[in-house]
Structure 1
Amino acid sequence: MVLGDSGYFLKTYLLTSVSNPQTRAERAFNVATICTHNIVERAIGLWKLHFRCLHKSAGGLCMEPHMSCTGTVATAMLHNNGNQDLKVKELKQRVAHLLVTTFPALDREQVTDEILTQVIDVISPTETKIKGPEFSEQEAHLSHEDDKCSTSTQPRHTSHQVSAVTDAGSGAYSFWCSHAGQFYCKLTNLVFEMKGSGKVLYAFVSWDKSQLQGMGQFQPAGPLYNITCSEDSILYLHLPHCEIHTDNNQIELAVAHISDDTVEILQPLKITNTHVILEVPGLSIFGLLRKCFFQEPINAQVLLFYKEIIGTQRKRKLDIHLLPGNVSVKEVQQQHQGNTYIPCSSICQLIPGKKYKPICKPKPYVSQPKVETFGCDFGPNYHPTFEVFFNPEDEDLTLGLLDETDQEVWEPRHVFLTADNREAVDSEIIEGAEFVDKYRDKLIQRVSSVMEIADILKTKGIISDEMYSEIEAKNTNQHKMRK
């Protein structure tokens, strides 16, 4: 049947004409999130089970994380449990298992994080958070109780995740808040603590070498943000950092406040495992600074962008970006819209100033350069660290990263260069189902080029020769479409 009850074949014909890989990937993720409502319900059950385990280890403080229960008690239970990270990791693995049994083509890591974010919002949106190695990938909330490096004397606010609007022309982000609270931007990992309503506008700007003169051993430790607010209602600002806190890690963090061509070095109120928190003296430009006595590892990320080169010699190219962990993935994507972003487990630990090289299978492949020094690149231009060229027949590869002593610093993993297309087509078929079913009768009456559609479907192997002959045998276009 070309159009039966589901309209599968016509949907395929209509929707595979969308050629933008980024659009397909975004639609795939959106549709996947919508389709996992039943998984969310089951994840809530797992989360409640997780809290019951915490209840037993905490001496019976609270049976379940109901909304009527104080979030402070639930948070205390989390903080007093030494195995929190392991339990959360186990929870995420179990949710991922539910996903793979239901939607085997999904990017399970990203969708799992999205599901757990929804679960947390349902159970206790003001206090609870998931904390794990994926935090730098934009899917967790930050609240005052999350600080493990110092005690908090600041007032507690309700935490909200904002949907920031991006201005395509200027690259700026903005959102409007109507009340006091804590607002988290998942695109940039910035957190704003507001004392009242106002429109917040923020953008990435480039570091100027002249701004760093006279700062001694301080050097940039994060992107530079230009932040304004219509009502001057930002009370505290949380800047994401990528430092690794250890007893032996001699690193000092500060904040550069740039205003009217003057640079002021501010001392933070607190430093958490993920953010530097400061009181806002006045809005303008802010950026993290670090003073280190020895080169120490930082939390970094490996971002992959794929492009197929068509010419006299057809090739596949993979751009590999080695970047600090607090660089916005969205910012890098915007600069490489002509390439397909390949999500992967990107987190690793790298040492600034040290040399690294990619390792790939199958061979042959060409990497240029073969070896490169990792520098803390905070924009505004994000050029690839490596360009790796493959044969056009290679649809998947194994990719890893070695240091200058040939030790693995980013464990080799499978990268599928064409999986994105398959997921995107499947998701677009689902997305178009409602449209085709809604206008089924009108499509039957108006589509005149039925055999042209059938030719394409036959060429792509979607319908058999027998089905094609049955369609062709019908007298009218309407009968052909119904067939």
Structure 2
Amino acid sequence: MDMLAIQSAVGDSEVKLGPNTPDINPKDATKLPSSFIPKVQNESAQISYRFKSSGSGLFHCTLTGLVFDLTREAELLYKIIQWDESILHQAGKMAAGPLFDIKCCEDAVRQLHFPHCETQKALLSDGLLSVVHFTDDTMSFIKPLKITDTHVVIKTPHFSAFGPVVDLDSAEPVKGQILLFLRPPNCKKETQNLNVLLLPRNIPLDQVSRQHQGSHFILVPSACNLIKNQTYTVHCPVACKIQPKRAELDMGFGPNYPPTFVICFPMNTEEITLTLRDQTDAEVWEHEVDLTDHLPFSADGRISAQEIMVMLLDILKDLSDDVFSDFKWHLKIKEWNDMPPIKESDLFEAKRTTTVDLMVQKYQITGAVQLQRSSFMEPGEVPWDTGEGAEEAVHGFMPESSTS
């Protein structure tokens, strides 16, 4: 694509800040999205997703965060492709999320909801966030129907590539995530390396983890606010070496996710303290990291996202009605991982199955597990019987690498 005609914005709906959960069509105001786990396929080292709906409704992809508003039964094929940053910059824009190539029958989709990483403060800037739409030789900017805390919602034109964008000169903080991958030890040098990735929060963990399959994922609270083009330093008292000394937030949105920092420390280290500081030396994020509590990225014994959701449901089924009611009360009042609580109206009559869907829609698979653990568990304590092997599974997991 050499030269693109930049067309005017599509649609004339007013952009409004909405609720914390993905927005819904006014005709379905009482309906919550149904979470689904797509079939994942590897095509020439590129990941693609497939989902076939059973009918109309709102459908939330647990791996990518996309929400599809469907009018009928349909099959969706979608994947993340690489942005051409130079073309965006010519239009005074920069990427604000992954670029999705989506294929579906055009009359089957009313709206698309794209996850964004903008903070509440940034969303108050009128016209900051929009969605770009690429066709064969043109690109157009679609004015959102609505913007929520988590998603930007558009009416669907004909299908091609879509992605959220913001003004190029935007310097507002974004919702970020810090991901940790522990590499196998170097027995000769008796050292071990930890890869630290600073990324926008709307980059799917599923995409990142596939590039670090020789490592162990360390599940820690990852949320923090980060600023584009600002440099950061990471500190670890027991580290032998940290490289580089300073680095910027990576706003490239893939397809490659190299480590932002690499921390080298003695091989038998079991716990470290990690601190992220900005260029003014202010603390942005800190966490005690248990290096023994991890999940190996291998095909053997990996637990699928579907199995994790079933485990979360089984745990809630084991709770008495009173304890389950208390758990929902915590969900509606507790701000977790720098994200607002689930709305009380959604939880009021929610059954156990709906509660699992709400947690996954709001916090994704990893966040739902962390939230459920933190609500009931003290370190080393399990207040209910999860069954043989279940506790171990819920403490460490990742979506399976491929589904045929």
Q: TM-score range by the shorter chain?
A: 0.5 to 0.7
Larger radius of gyration between Structure 1 and Structure 2:
1
The partner residue of 2:185 within 309, 312, 330 is 309
Q: Distance in 2 between matches of 1:321 and 1:416?
A: 17
The letter of the residue matching 1:190 is: L
Partner residue, 2:136: 260
Between the aligned partners of 2:104 and 2:53, the Cα distance in structure 1 is: 10
Higher helix share: 1
Unaligned runs of 5+ in 2: 1-17, 308-404
Aligned twin of 1:106: none
- Equivalent in the alignment of 2:288: 414
Shift of 1:191: 0.3
Alpha-carbon contact 2:179-2:196 (below 8 Å) kept: yes
Contact 1:250 1:293 in 2 (8 A): no
Q: Which amino acid aligns with 1:275?
A: H
Distance 2:63 2:282 in 1: 32
Task: Name 2:88's counterpart in structure 1.
Answer: 212
Maintained 8 Å contact 1:324/1:377: no
Alignment of 1:4-19 (within 5 A): none
Is 2:245 the partner of 1:370? yes
* Counterpart position of 2:261: 386
3-state DSSP of counterpart to 2:207: helix
Relative to structure 1, the CA distance from residue 225 to residue 406 in structure 2 (aligned partners, 3 Å threshold; closer, same or farther) is same
Give the residue type in structure 1 aligned to 2:37.
S
Aligned AA for 1:397?
I
- Residue 413 of structure 1 deviates from its aligned partner by 1.4
The SS at the match of 2:210 is: helix
The answer (yes or no) to whether the contact 2:172–2:228 under 8 Å persists in 1 is yes
Residues 194, 421 of structure 1: alpha-carbon distance in 2 compared, 3 angstrom cutoff: closer
Match of 2:173 in 1: 297
1:190 aligns with 2:70: no
Structure 2 vs 1, CA of residues 211 and 167 (structure 1 numbering), >3 Å: closer, same or farther? same
Distance in 1, Cα, partners of 2:177 & 2:37: 24
Q: Find out whether 1:360 has 2:236 as its counterpart.
A: yes
2: CA distance, partners of 1:294 / 1:200 = 33
1:208 offset after TM fit, Å? 1.5
Normalising to structure 1: TM-score of the pair?
0.54
**Distance verdict in 2 for CA 1:247–1:200, change over 3 Å:** closer
| Partner Cα distance (1:230, 1:359) in 2 | 50
The answer to whether the 8 A contact 2:106-2:159 is kept is no
| SS at 1:167 equivalent | strand
- Tell me whether 1:339 sits opposite 2:339 in the alignment: no
CA distance in 2, matches of 1:421, 1:259: 41
The alignment covers a number of residue pairs equal to 279
- CA–CA distance in 2 between the matches of 1:419 and 1:210? 42
Rounded to whole Å, the distance in 1 between the matches of 2:276 and 2:57 is 41
How far is 1:232 from its partner? 4.2
Residue 285, structure 1, aligned to residue 165, structure 2? no
Query: Residues 183 and 192 of structure 1 are in contact (CA less than 8 Å); yes or no, is this contact kept in structure 2?
Result: yes
Closer, same or farther in 2 for the Cα pair 1:172/1:307, shift >3 Å?
Answer: same
CA distance in 2, matches of 1:196, 1:376: 36
Partner of 2:337: none
* Aligned CA-pair RMSD: 2.6
Contact in 2 for aligned 1:202/1:225 (Cα 8 Å): yes
| Bigger share in strand | 2
- The 3 A distance-change label for structure 1 pair 260 and 292 is closer
Partner of 1:275: 151
